[in-house]
Chains A and B, each alone.
Chain A
C-alpha cells in the first residue's frame, strides 16, 4: 500500500509552486522576482483574502436557484416531484443579463437575494468537477476523460478542492494560491492559509500548509504554573525538540512546535483588536467559523498579512432523507451567516478586498428518492463580496428534464463549466497572472475560457 504516487505532490508540482516561498511549512524567506513582478504588473498590492465556504455532503443547489417562467418551472417541478420548491414561495431575482428565463431564490435565503440585488453576489451556474467539457453522449459512451470515482463524497470533495480533477497530485487550489502569493506576506511564521474547520485538501500547498485555528481562536498550552511549572515546561520543550528519527514522531513534533509558536503570535494579535460590532446569528452551524475569520481579517495588519486564504465548512448537505425539513434550515443558516460576514467586512472597510466563495463537492439528483436526493454532479457555486461582479448568473443553466440534454442519469447534471474555471476566476482576482493560470490549473486549457467573468 505504500506505492501510491497519485496523491502525493509530484516533484514537478513542488518545483512549480515552490517559487513563492521556502520549502518549509510555515517559514518564508525567498522572495521570487517572477511572481512579484507579475503581480505588480497586474496591480497587485493591498490586502486580499479569499474565504472558501465549503458545503460538505453535496448541496442540492437546484433548489437554491429555480427557474420561474412557467415552461422551465414545470420541467423542474416534474423532475423534482415532492422536493420542488413551490413557485409562489420563490424570491424573485433579476439577473443583469437574461438567458430568456426568469429565476427565483429559495425562500430561506432573503439575505442572499439582497446581496444579489446589490450586485455583491454572483452565481456560477451548474459548475462541477471536470477534466474537460463533456456532453451527455460522450458521458454515455465514456469516450472522453471523466473525473475518477464520480458521485463518491470524499473523492469528489478532494477533486473540487484540488487544482485538477484527475488524480494529478495533492495540491489544493487554496494551497496553490497561498503558495503563489505568500511572498507578499514577507517573513512570517504564520501560513497564508488558515482553516477554521480542521484538515482539508483545499489548503495543501507545495510550500505552504494550513494553520488550524479553532472557532474560539488559538489555544494556549495550559498548566505549568506554581513553583513546579517552569521545570515541567522546560522538559516538555526539551522532549518535543529532540531529534526524532521516526517520521511520525517528527510530524507530531512539528505540529506541536507550530501550535505553540503560532499561538503566541495569534493570541497577541487577536487580543490587540477592538471588538467587532457586527452581530452574527446565534443559532448557526457556520457563523462561529465565519466570525473567527472576520476577526483574523481584522488582525491582518497586526499579523503582517497581505494575502490570506481561509477555509470554513458547513456539513449536513447530504440530504438523502428529510430534505424537505433540513434544506430550509441549512439555507437560512448560510444566508444569515454570509450576510453577517459581509456586514463585518463592511464594518472593517474590507468589502472590496475579501471574496467569499461557496463551493460543494457535487449537486444532487434532480429526481427524488421519496425522502430526499442522491449524489449528483454539477451544481451552482456562489461568489460574494465587493469585488464580485454580482447580480448575475454566469454560465448556462442546464435543462431540467430527466433524460434531457444535460442528464447523466436520474437527474445528475453534467456540469456546464469546471471547478477549475471557477477557481481560476478567483485566482486571477487574487493576483495570479493570466499567463500562469494554465500552469496552476493544468486542465484549464481543455475549456473554452480560462475564467468565468464573475470577478470582473
Chain B
C-alpha cells in the first residue's frame, strides 16, 4: 500500500513526497534537517501507522472524502490510503474545532466593524481550510437541521452571535446529541429566532398564552417529526393503515409552558434591557410556568420544577423518543451521502444513535462514523446506480473547488459574502426554519415519478442552475495563477499538479475526474472531455501553457450533470 501513497500527490496542496511523507519519516527516524523548531509535526497518518481498513482503491478513497470533507485533497488521499478509514476518523475526532467567533472578535478588537459578511468569510475559511473537515461538514449539516437565519430581522445585526451559534454546532458536532439539544434550546440566537426568549407564563384572565413557536418546531423539525416512525424511518401505521401523529396540539401547548421564563444572560429586566447574543439564556423563575405539565406520551413534569429542571426534563423526554434516531439518521445521511437512503441504511445508523456500542445514546461521532462506513455509503453507487447519490449543494461544491485547489486570496479572506444570490443558499441564511429545502422534497418529474427525494433540487431552479454555472465560471476562469485582472480578493487556485499533466489529456481528465467526482465519470463523458482537451492548444487563450486545458476541464466537470452529483 505504501506505493500508492507515493503516487497520489495532487492538487494545490504539497504532496506527501514534498512534505508529509518526508517529514513523517524524518520524525519517525529521529533525525531532522534543521533546528528542532523547523521540524513539522509528523503527519497524522504517520503517527497512526499503516492501517488495515484501507479504501479499496483511490476512487473509494475519494468517494469517502467527498462525503466526509468539503473537498478531496492530495494529503487526505495520502493519509486515508495509508492509515485507513478508522484512523482517519480517529484523527478527525481529535482535531481542535475551527471556530468563527474568536476570529471575528479579534477583527472587531482590531477596529473592524463586524457584519454578516465577515461571518460568511469565516464560514468559507473553515470549510475550505479547517483541518477538522468532518466536524465542519457535520456542523454544516446540523445547521441545516437546527436552523436559524440572519434573514430574521431580530438576528440580522448580530453576526458574532450567529457565529457563536455556529460554533456551538461545531463544538458539538461529534459529541452528544442530547447536549446539543440543551445548547440549542438555551441559545439566545435560537431564542430570538423561534421566539421563546422573553416568553412568559400565561395570563388566563387576559387570554394570553405562552408562545408555541419553539415548542412546535423543536418537535417537528429538530428531533422527532410529525408522525411516528419505525426504526428504519418508514411511517408506523395503525390498525387502519393510517399514520400516527407523534404529538397533538395539546402536547405543543404543554411544551410551550415549559419554554417560559428565559431571557438574555445578565439582563436586569426580563422584558427589556441589554441583549447578550453570545451567552446562553438565563431563566427567571417568576416568569416561568411552574405548574405540572403533561408532555407527549403522557410524561408528567411535576409542579414546582425550576425553569432549568423543567427544560432539561422535557428535553430528556424528547431525546428518549424512539423517533429521534431514525429522524436524525435520515437527515444526516441525506446531507452527507445520498438523498434517498434505503430503509436498512437508516435503520443501521439509527441503531448506532440508540447505542454507540458502549450504551451511550445520541453519540454523533459514532453516528457519522456509521453513516460513512455503511455498506450503502461505500457501495451504493454500484448496487443502485440509477437511484443512489445526491445533488451536491452548491456551497459544498464551491468550498470544495477552493479546498481541492488550495484557493487563497492575497487579502487572506474568502470575500464571497452573498452566495445565496447565485446558489440559493448561504450559511445560516435560510428563508425559514424549514431550511433551504425540505428533506422530503420530491422534484416534480422524473424523481417524483420514481418516488425519490431530491432536497437540493428545491433550490435548483431554472434561474439558480444557470447562476450557479456562471459563478463557477467566474471562480475558475477569473482566478487562475497569472490572471491579469485579479485583485487582492481574488481567490486564486493553485494548479501546479494539473498543469504538469496538461500535455497528457487522458491523465489530466482522469486526475480531475478523481478529485472533482471521485472517479465516477462515465466512459462517454471521459471520451468527450479527452477529445475536448486534445483539441485545445497548449498555448490557447493567451494563458500560461496548459492553463486553458486545465480550466476547461475543471469547469466542464463541475457544471456537467455527472459532476453535479455526489455519487
Chain A residues within 8 Å of B, Cβ to Cβ: 1-5, 7-9, 25, 56-57, 78-79, 81, 148-155, 170, 195, 198-199, 204, 209-214, 218-223, 226-228, 231-232, 235-236, 238-240, 242-256, 258-260, 262-263, 315, 318, 320-322, 326, 365, 367-372, 374-375, 402, 409-411
Contact = CB atoms under 8 A, between A and B. Distances in A.
Contacts of A240: 560-561
A370 B199 contact: yes
Contact of A8 (B210, B449, B459, B473): B449
Contacts of A209: 444-445
Contact of B460 (A222, A232, A252, A321): A252
Nearest to B560: A239
A245 B385 contact: yes
Interface stretch (B12-20, B106-114, B290-298, B523-531): B523-531
A7 B440 contact: yes
B448 A246 contact: no
Rank and list the top 6 A-B pairs by shortest CB-CB distance, nearest first.
A212-B461, A321-B195, A320-B213, A214-B463, A253-B561, A212-B462
Contacts of B389: 246, 248
**How large, as a class, is the contact surface on chain B?**
35 or more
B207 A79 contact: yes
Contacts of B319: none
Given A367-B207, A369-B212, 12 more contacts: A1-B346, A1-B453, A81-B207, A152-B226, A155-B226, A240-B560, A249-B562, A255-B457, A262-B462, A322-B153, A322-B154, A372-B195
Secondary structure of the A contact surface, majority rule: loop
B446 A151 contact: no
Nearest to B217: A153
A250 B561 contact: yes
Nearest to A5: B451
A88 B529 CA distance: 72
A244 B524 CA distance: 10
A204 B391 contact: no
A392 B553 CA distance: 63
A320 B195 contact: yes
Interface stretch (B132-140, B169-177, B430-438): B430-438
Contacts, number: 254
B555 to A, nearest CB: 7
Contacts of A170: 442, 444, 448
Given A152-B220, A251-B445, A246 B565 contact: yes
B465 A371 contact: no
Contact of A56 (B194, B253, B432): B432
Contacts of B253: 410
A54 B30 CA distance: 69
B41 interface: no
B127 to A, nearest CB: 23
A262 B438 CA distance: 27
A450 B461 CA distance: 35
Interface stretch (B182-190, B405-413, B532-540): B532-540
B458 interface: yes
B379 interface: no
A306 to B, nearest CB: 22
Contact of A1 (B200, B343, B467, B540): B343
Given A369-B209, A371-B199, A254 B442 contact: no
A221 B212 CA distance: 45
Contacts of B457: 199, 251-252, 255
A254 to B, nearest CB: 7
Contacts of A81: 206-208
B284 interface: no
9 contacts: A2-B343, A148-B243, A218-B463, A243-B524, A252-B565, A256-B561, A315-B431, A320-B213, A321-B211
Interface string B213-239: 100100010000010000011110000
A198 B462 contact: no
A442 B540 CA distance: 62
A8 B451 contact: yes
A323 to B, nearest CB: 10
Contacts of A2: 340, 342-343, 451-452
